[in-house]
Amino acid sequence: MSIEVKDIHFRYGRVVALDGVTASLGAGAVGLLGPNGAGKSTLLRILLGFLVPERGEGKVLDFDIRRDRAMIRRSVGYMPESDCFVPGMDAVTFTAYFGELSGMPRREAMKRAHEVLFYVGLEEARYRLLDTYSAGMKQRLKLAQALVHDPKVLFLDEPTSNLDPTGRAEVLELIRDIAANRSIQVLLSSHILDDIESLCETVVILKQGKVAAEGRMADLRAIQYSLYEVRVKGDAGLFRKELEAGGSRVDETEDGLIKVYMPEAGDRMDVFRAAARTGAQVRYFVKSRTSLEDLFAGVVGVE
């Protein structure tokens, strides 16, 4: 595994950000998914050595996150969430500058800066002052500076935030192309389910600083349950309990929609049987499509 963390704990003052996170992230594109405040960015920052965990250990490409920070930073490209640039610079100078700071020889850094700016689609604007860049251009620029030294691992923190639909599609396309290049591992942190679903092979879902689910996307998507959406008239609480006694997980939305996560071995007729036993009338019954969103809702509890 190229990234491993074991029992990582971190808190900002009294606020617990990570509470015993353990995960192994293999090759390819890995998604770090979770609602805002779940601890995704904190985990990335710990992996980069910006923050030191209170407890726990971790490795990135076999380099220890406490001892070998310089080696990790040499091998990792980091695209932060917030806008960041150096005023007064153009894109070529900026990208070459950070290439040089990564350890590239000066001329090589300049040459490579041109290449990656072409790659991310900023070739026309590469001599323009960064102060004049749009949000989408800044996002591409951040990707360019993360790629300039040809990292082995790429940490992308909310790469599509603040982008319009076109810009988002373009950045996702770039990331997809990079992830397709098997020699670069991409760790994509996002709270946008579609981004993770469309790019990643593996996902780690964080909830309140803990790992709520982890695994290959294909396995998780082939969720081991069927999802039914039901509305009943009668005692919904009793009906829910009956379903739960039968091995299903049940959630109820604020507007009374009951989501039944039924094990694959289960039979949809069990829903009607449970209704009959509890005297509830089924007024609405739909088999819903299971997706990452359902899994996310299931493990994180977001509707």
Partner 1 sequence: MAVVREKGYAHWDGRLVERRRPWWPITRTGIRLAFRKKAFRFFFAGGFLPAFFALGGLYVSERLEDFKALVQSNRALLRIDPAYFRTFLVNPPFLFLLLIVLVFAASGLVADDLKHNSLQLYFSRPLSKKDYIVGKMSVVAFFVLALAGLPWLLLVAFKLVFAGNLRFLAAYPLLPLGILGYAVFLAVFFALLFMLLSASSRNSRYVSILVFTTYLFSDILSGILTGIFRTPYMGLFSLRANIQQAGSVFFGTKPPLAVPPVWSFAVLAAIGALSLVVLDRKIRGVEVIK
Nearer to partner 1, 140 or 259 (CB): 140
Nearer to partner 1, 170 or 242 (CB): 170
Coil vs helix vs strand at 245: helix
Nearer to partner 1, 189 or 248 (CB): 189
Say if CB 181 and CB 154 are below 8 A apart: no
Alpha helix stretches (DSSP H) within 148-206? 165-180, 193-199
| Letter string b/e over residues 134-157, b meaning 16 or more CB atoms within 10 A of that residue's CB | eebbbbbbbbbbbbbbebebbbbb
Does the protein bind partner 1 through residue 150 (CB under 8 A)? yes
| Contacts to partner 1 from residues 170-189, by CB under 8 A | 170, 172-174, 177-178, 180-181, 183-184
- Count residues binding partner 1 (CB under 8 A): 55
In angstroms, what is the minimal distance from the CB of 162 to partner 1? 13
**Exposed/middle/buried for residue 179 (C-beta within 10 Å: 0-12, 13-18, 19+):** buried
Does the protein bind partner 1 through residue 1 (CB under 8 A)? no
- Sole binder of partner 1 in the list 86, 135, 286, 302 (CB under 8 A): 86
CA distance 141 to 147: 10
Pair of tokens at residue 158: 């909310």
Does the protein bind partner 1 through residue 51 (CB under 8 A)? yes
Distances (CA, A) of 23 to 8, 64, 148, 242: 10, 15, 28, 35
Return residues touching partner 1 (CB under 8 A).
12-13, 45, 48-51, 69-71, 73-74, 76-78, 80, 82-89, 93, 97-98, 100-106, 108, 112, 115, 118-119, 121, 145, 147, 149-150, 169-170, 172-174, 177-178, 180-181, 183-184
